[in-house]
Amino acid sequence: MAQIFDAPSKALLRSQIAEHIAETDKTDKTQQRAGEAPLTAERFFDRELSWLKFNKRVLELAEDKDQPLLERANFAAIFASNLEEFFMVRVAGLKRRIDSGIAVTAASGLSPRQQLRAISEEAHQLQAEHAHEVIDEILPALAKEHIVLLSWDKLNTSEQERLSRYYRQLVFPVLTPLAVDPAHPFPYISGGSLNLAVLVENPSSGKSHFARVKIPDNLNRLLPVADMTDEGGSKERYGFIPLENLIIAHLESLFPGMIIKEARSFRVTRNEDIDVEEDDAENLLNAMEKELLRRRFGPPIRLEISDTTSPFLSQLLAGRLRVSEEEVYRIPAPLDMTVLFELQSIDRPDLKYRPFIPITNRQIAEVESSRAQDIFAAIRNHDILLHHPYDSFSTSVQAFLAQAAADPKVLAIKQTLYRTSSNSPIIDALVDAAHAGKQVLALVEIKARFDEGANIAWARKLERAGVHVVYGIVGLKTHCKLSLVVRQEDDGLRRYCHVGTGNYNPKTARLYTDLGLLTCDPVVGQDLTRLFNQLSGYAPRSSFHRLLVAPRTVRSGLIQRIEREEAAAKEGKEAWIKIKVNSIVDEKTIDALYRASQAGVHIDIVERGICALKPGIAGLSENIKVRSILGRFLEHSRIYAFANADGPQIGEGPAAGPEVWIGSADLMHRNLDRRVEALVRISDPEQIERLLNYVDLQMADSTISWHMLPDGEYVRHARDEENRPLVDSQEYLIHTHQR
């Protein structure tokens, strides 16, 4: 495997990164500009607490009786999965800072210890609300629909006999009871695993002993009891028993001759964030693999136990795992509600969203014929703006790369990969292209959180096929979504480009809303060529014409445009800014938006996750409105739009009209400082209008959304004053795309 950078290159990059970080760290807490009053110090919400509010909105969807019932169960599972990752990464990071003595106060004014206390209080409350919703609302509602979670004692004799055979044949052979005594130390508890804490008594000695039984994670957690019908015989009934309940009912097979005094489920969340010292790693792949092994042994940061666990077992587990009382979460069984994902396999379309099949983008469909579609001809006709999942990913981006791999006129393909799917057709296309003798470059980001192992495997597969694989720039994650195809045509070489907001992942492309631009514009082609050369080689820094690229120009470019609208408003001109992002945290950008609001710029922000900005505060942000959209699809696209009466005055592009950008960058420190991100400017007036209408639809008072209040709370608006449902923006777009 080739070296990523030699020593001089590393030194140069370290110098460039240090220079950039030093520049971004020059932040005045009040961001006072010459001749202007300082902004108030208490102008930012805490990012960690804001994230918890986002997950509360997910929980509200699980509570929403207007959602199909199995979709409510799915949202409850998403809530649990989200919270697990939050603890593994964000809470773990705070604890690491405290332990290492780096107790830097956040922009919100909270110290790491204060943040942890506030997180603990809110997380305990949210988990209690979540458990209540699942146990007292969703499961009873499912039972009414003949989908039942059963306990062992609710099964009849034949059902118990069938499941006992299953236990003996498939479960018992893979169980390993681990006793704890002077000869057997307390076992290692892997993060995220479900376990049983078992207290047994020796009838001969009368002594009690503790043992741990790990629930196998390679078996389905919900076991079907039988194919049943209801009492009238008219409707299919789905009965399930959790695997841990089956094991508890058969514990005597694991502890023969012992008295089972108590058996309760528990699980541990560990620090699973990864930190690779890239500058000291001669081989980044090997360093990452070692760090993945270390991840398994991160310190515990949360202990979940059944709320019926005895004080003795609770104290034993907390003591052995070295977790504090506030890190113990007592929850009604079953633990780990991600098990609800398994209910999605139930064939009850009446309890799910109506089926949705993405359609081929109209501009691509126009060039389809009895022969295979020529996506290059469609792009030559006109830039194509894609909106997934409404526009099919498979007949657009996937087809673009597949055709490039098979086309003898294509000479080279350059591709970034951050996350992709198993059995990825994107990987297959790159392999096919390399086998066909094309020059193929794949920039694989092996530091994509929780996809590190999969990306290492993809990198090795691509290398074996002859693809040139690189891993980006030391110290930066490559998060931009770029594809470049170089094709020999009658009039010379032509470069075809895709710049997107989402990953090259066919599976998530059906679940996430994302945007992408397919173009053969020579300016974009030149920009992407320069950027790929910087990422793969020693090319010097370049200026770009239709791209903003982090970590050098995204923040500064966006702030420059915000300040342009501020200046226009101060001159009495109408000016506005529209932003759609996943999260907004960056203090410098937020301060620029505050200044623009004070000058009279109207600012609309659609965000899904974290928002550290305080909207609607007199004298600071009264001209800023923030809405949050969550629903069937995960909102993932990023749009930045600016306009005033004079039109854009920065860079190249249309002489008048709004200036609109799409791309991979959110307004977060990691995106602007520690990642390679790319935004592309949209030049077609019709496409600009489509994007602005999209933001306006999601901001409209007639659309279902959460309205962010000045105190940071979110209020869901789903019905009008006459209790009629508001417009679901995602369902509206499904309908309009299929007309």
Residue 648 binned pLDDT confidence (cut-offs 50, 70, 90):
low
Q: Which residue has the higher pLDDT, 57 or 538?
A: 57
Backbone angles phi and psi of 197, in degrees to 5: -95, 120
Task: Give helix 47-63 / helix 69-86 axis angle, nearest 10°.
Answer: 160
Residue 614's closest CA among 23, 46, 31? Answer: 46
Per the CB < 8 A criterion, the answer to whether 622 and 647 are in contact is no
Annotated binding site for ATP: 82, 512, 608, 636
pLDDT band at 293; cut points 50, 70, 90: low
549-737 placed in CATH 3.90.420.10: no
Q: 704, 623 in Cβ contact below 8 A?
A: no
Torsion of CA 135, 136, 142, 147, to 10 degrees: 50
Of 19-28, 657-666, 685-694, which gets the smallest average pLDDT? Answer: 19-28
Cα-based distances in Å from 1 to 165, 241, 428, 459: 50, 49, 21, 10
Q: What is the DSSP string of 191-207?
A: TT-EEEEEEEE-TTT--
- Tell me, what amino acid is at 255? F
Intra-chain end-to-end CA distance of the chain, in Å: 51
* Least confident window among 169-183, 242-256, 268-282, 669-683: 268-282
Residue 56: both structure tokens together = 């509360």
pLDDT of residue 174: 95
Q: Any idea of the CA torsion for 79, 80, 82, 85, to the nearest 10 degrees?
A: 170
> Does 362-542 match 549-737 in CATH topology?
yes
Q: Does the pLDDT of residue 575 top 80, yes or no?
A: yes
For the chain, the structural domain boundaries read: 173-335, 362-542, 549-737
Mean pLDDT for the chain overall? 88
- % of the chain exceeding 90 in pLDDT: 75
Query: What pLDDT band is residue 11 in, cutting at 50, 70 and 90?
Result: very low
Q: Which two tokens stand for residue 409?
A: 């006129």
Please say whether the beta carbons of 396 and 518 come within 8 A.
yes
Q: Residue 85 has which token pair?
A: 């990752």
pLDDT tens-digit map of 198-252: 999 999 998 999 999 999 999 999 999 975 444 444 456 789 999 999 999 999 9
pLDDT band at 4 (very low <50, low <70, confident <90, very high): very low
Instruction: Flag whether pLDDT at 367 surpasses 70.
Output: no
Instruction: With residue 267 as reference, give the H or E element that holds it.
Output: strand 259-270
Is residue 254 predicted with pLDDT exceeding 90?
yes
Q: DSSP letters along 333-361, please?
A: SSP-GGGGGGGGGS--GGGSPPP---B--
pLDDT at position 38: 83
Given this model, what pLDDT does residue 136 score? 96
**Residue 406 token pair:** 């098979």
Q: Looking at the predicted structure, is the pLDDT value of residue 182 above 80?
A: no
CATH of domain 362-542: 3.30.870.10
Average pLDDT over residues 704-722: 96
Options 3.30.1840.10, 3.40.50.460, 3.40.830.10, 3.30.465.10; which CATH number does 173-335 get? 3.30.1840.10
Judged against a pLDDT cut of 90, whether residue 103 lies above it is answered with no
Say whether 479 is catalytic.
Answer: yes
113-142 per-position pLDDT tens digit: 999 999 999 999 999 999 999 999 999 999
- Residue with the bigger pLDDT between 378 and 423: it is 378
Query: Tens of pLDDT along 447-475?
Result: 656 566 777 788 888 999 999 999 878 78
- pLDDT category at 96 given cuts 50, 70, 90 is confident
pLDDT band at 368 (very low <50, low <70, confident <90, very high): low
Query: DSSP alpha helices (H): ranges in 217-326?
Result: 243-249, 284-295, 311-321
Tokens of residue 680, six digits: 């592309």
**Preceding amide of 725 cis, omega within 30:** no
Enter the pTM of the model.
0.90
Can you tell me the distance from the alpha carbon of 11 to that of 7, in angstroms, rounded to the nearest whole number?
A: 6
Grade residue 183 by pLDDT with cuts at 50, 70 and 90. confident
Catalytic residue among 130, 387, 388, 479: 479
Q: Which of 11-15, 40-44, 592-596 has the lowest average pLDDT?
A: 11-15
How far apart CA 588 and CA 594 sit, in angstroms, is 10
For residues 265 and 246, what is the distance between their CA atoms, to the nearest angstrom?
12
Residue 670, C-beta contacts closer than 8 angstroms, at least 6 positions apart: 477
